[in-house]
Amino acid sequence: MDFIKIRIAEDFGHLGSNLEKTIEDMFRSMSPAFTLAERAWKPPMDMNETPDEIVIVAEVAGVDKDDLEVEISSKAVRIQGNRVARHCTDETNYRLAEIQYGRFERILYLPAPIDPEVVSAGYTNGLLEIRLAKVPIEKTHKIPISDG
């Protein structure tokens, strides 16, 4: 049985240079060919919630399972990985280049507290699916107040 690496984290700390990401996004919107030294991409993801769990699905086709890493805290999930262009050589002349390659990182903040110990992940047909068990909502009890 193959496993996907999942790390439990207290906090993700500093998330890198937000200014660098903002500048890159601004220039990429004017010219998609523009990137900084290391090209980054953002795979599309879905997150849905049921009464018992939160399910995240990431479309990461072409990424080897060994190049995926998932970190989980009680408040967020970080998914990172790398997609390598395998069909390129020095003699390649691109006529169309729409598929993005390189490192990626996505941090998704969770809509409800989860139990970081009850997590599963699977990777099939280019889709990474992460299932996170929600922490049961604590029930409150009304306490009668007596006289005196």
Is 147 within a domain?
no
Q: What is the span of the domain harbouring residue 59?
A: 41-134
Beta carbons of 35 and 100 less than 8 angstroms apart = no
Q: What is the CATH number of the domain that holds 112?
A: 2.60.40.790
- 0.95 surpassed by pTM: no
Is 27 within a domain?
no
What's the pLDDT tens digit per position in 54-113? 999 999 999 999 999 999 988 899 999 999 887 777 787 878 888 888 999 999 999 999
CA distance linking residue 4 with residue 6, whole number of Å = 6
CA distance linking residue 101 with residue 95, whole number of Å = 16
